Structure 1
């Protein structure tokens, strides 16, 4: 896609009812639908391209102008004032493999409808904006096909080099650039100048559900980092090599997985999470003792020191394991993200908006990463949660009720009304990431 291929705004009156919102949201589930009720819509796939094309068409029908930047982020804009920085709202439409239909998608469709409602108020003369309004669909937030995650927003705010991102390959060797071209989403339009950002998302945890609260006002992100671990043993025959002569990389790697789960016992409950989400065995032959296993350890905590302490414990355990098993294990720090504090003014704005919408609200931290964490680097950002049933996410069972989604849109619309009239003008953005890798 190039600048010349843009969607002109329609003069049609926006559909802004709760029923229309739900119809749009549930329609998106047909793109990449799975048999178990989830979606598989990884970045740059045909399914992702199809839902992104629908977004462009829907935004144009609501009266918005759509542009696409050089890393595939899509922007749908209501322009009321010439040459004025805009308020940016939105999320992402890509998913994890066999993922849930709410993660990211809810935030995009909620933003689209909140923007349409605010535009109707502006056109009716009930609201006088000081900023324009843009809904964004970020590219590759999930990072499932192309690492790292939060790619589109990180490029947009200058945390990740665009050319490096475009050259990133998936496991099959396809580059981000090639994937974007294949779905007609590699644009040349400039990204908008951002006065403030807001994102609404499912919680992906069970705190709101447990506290029977409708809206979460996010105060900070968790400190996170990954460890890239390469376990290097020796390849041998599974039948002909006696047990005492083996240097099995898989057995050692399995011990590391258990170390990663057990390390949380050293810390306060529910304040740290750990996992091994990626695990690759070489040569992965049924009659060969594995020579190498590559895995990624993910560490996240409310306190930075807890992550650092867990990292040190694991590195000591891994070093001892290498000696015990007579193998080599390389450990590399990767993807370090410092705690981001969302502006207090934005948290209070969310609380006031929830009160005006007649819904309950509480302050909450985000354990997961979101595009707002990146954008908060350059513009004051607001992050809002709605409940997730059973706290389940990144799987097909992920679920939020229609009632909670609608209540979230109502509260989010109140937030957007305040932002376009300058509620966070002069507010300082949050703190930057600790490292350059995002």
Structure 2
């Protein structure tokens, strides 16, 4: 497959769910998601590859070199954030498809038959914008999340994952391929590579992440007729929690912790009714688990005091806790070697964001690579990576995948343990129910 063919395919897929400002709006389980999945299946069919869809909607395009052998998986995800960027996730899937086609062409041209098969994967709901938690499909595949529970997850309109996948025709029943290793290439979503003038990031570890599910329960009343002193306004209290989550980063060294509230829902959401309930999700991330836990404890204490001050009830639950992941040293070295062979500048780098490789690295040796993001912008329409960097990354992924199907990472490529116990990266739905301060509630 030529460089021109890759660029043509990439920019075509970017038209599916395209937004006016060069982004994409292609959330999991939507019709736009279906269209990209149909395109993925069509690409595989044109190359004579078998396509499987498993019970959580993950898609696999299989290249079987040796019947019965395990599979090297390469790929990423095609879903996006609302008004998201066209590179995040999709680049890794398109690069995976074209790398696989190049490897197959090499074998057909008389190259050595590899000992392992190859599969390109499009993971379901990596973004988690519509269905929480994120990294769903790969986590179910890896056994970290329960498939039945994830199929029952509902979006803000009450549609379940099961209903959404059934509606677009991608709730599969196929057996997923058995993995031996995994590789993923992705835009950096930061500006380190751009700032240092490098093309490839060899990811060696991921940050510790946890979210807080926060429910603020006040009392519904008339905005015009209720005296200020008699109100129990859930939205006022929730607004203070948003600032608490933002300000907690100031308790630590600069950039040691990042935090946000990215989702908030309001009931009854009427212009003349004091809010009775607000639900929000806080996100805490650091390279240090101790910093995240300290920030969490500080927030819980502040939220408890806030509930007492406002005479309302606030419920806080931990969920979606992901321990630090450390990628195999042999995989990091493989990325460095392949980049050097191609004449590409490379450095080791951490990922602050979550990726499907974080889930996969728990079950098989995994490789994660980055290419530069212009201005470090991500999860918005302004997200951009140059064609030249995409093509360089495709070359690097092809070389890495070729090494993997020939057995790289199997000697000295054991999976490093995550920091913390084995369950710490799983979805913790109702652990440590933190704060439940009673007051005047609806």
TM-score w.r.t. length of structure 1 = 0.94
Measure how far apart 1:433 and its partner are: 5.1
Count, aligned residues:
423
| Aligned match of 2:192 | 207
Q: How does 1:243-282 map to 2 (within 5 A)?
A: 243-282=228-267
2:375 to 371, 380, 390: 390
Measure how far apart 1:198 and its partner are: 0.2
- In 2, the alpha carbon distance for the partners of 1:296 and 1:235 equals 22
| Aligned match of 2:440 | none
| Aligned match of 2:93 | 108
SS at match of 1:72: coil
State whether structure 2 residue 360 is matched by structure 1 residue 344. no
Measure how far apart 1:46 and its partner are: 0.8
- In 1, the alpha carbon distance for the partners of 2:416 and 2:23 equals 34
SS at match of 1:423: coil
Residue by residue over 1:130-185, the C-alpha shift from the partner in whole angstroms, topping out at 9 and shown as x without a partner, is 11111001111111111221111111111122222222222222222222122221
Worse-matched range after superposition: 219-228 or 266-275: 266-275
Over aligned residue pairs, what C-alpha RMSD do you find?
1.3
State whether structure 2 residue 415 is matched by structure 1 residue 429. yes
Residue pair 1:198, 1:382 contacting (<8 A) in 2 also = yes
Residue pair 1:356, 1:414 contacting (<8 A) in 2 also = no
| Aligned match of 2:119 | 134
- In 1, the alpha carbon distance for the partners of 2:39 and 2:321 equals 35
| Aligned match of 2:290 | 305
1:66 to 39, 45, 51: 51
Gaps of 5+ in 2: 429-442
Q: How does 1:89-108 map to 2 (within 5 A)?
A: 89-108=74-93
Residue by residue over 1:226-261, the C-alpha shift from the partner in whole angstroms, topping out at 9 and shown as x without a partner, is 111111222222112222222211111111111111
| Aligned match of 2:213 | 228
| Aligned match of 1:5 | none
Measure how far apart 1:126 and its partner are: 3.0
Gaps of 5+ in 1: 1-15
- In 2, the alpha carbon distance for the partners of 1:24 and 1:313 equals 48
| Aligned match of 1:155 | 140
- In 2, the alpha carbon distance for the partners of 1:118 and 1:85 equals 17
State whether structure 2 residue 403 is matched by structure 1 residue 413. no
| Aligned match of 2:299 | 314
Worse-matched range after superposition: 342-351 or 320-329: 320-329
Residue pair 1:216, 1:364 contacting (<8 A) in 2 also = yes
Residue pair 1:34, 1:40 contacting (<8 A) in 2 also = yes
| Aligned match of 2:432 | none
Measure how far apart 1:435 and its partner are: 4.6
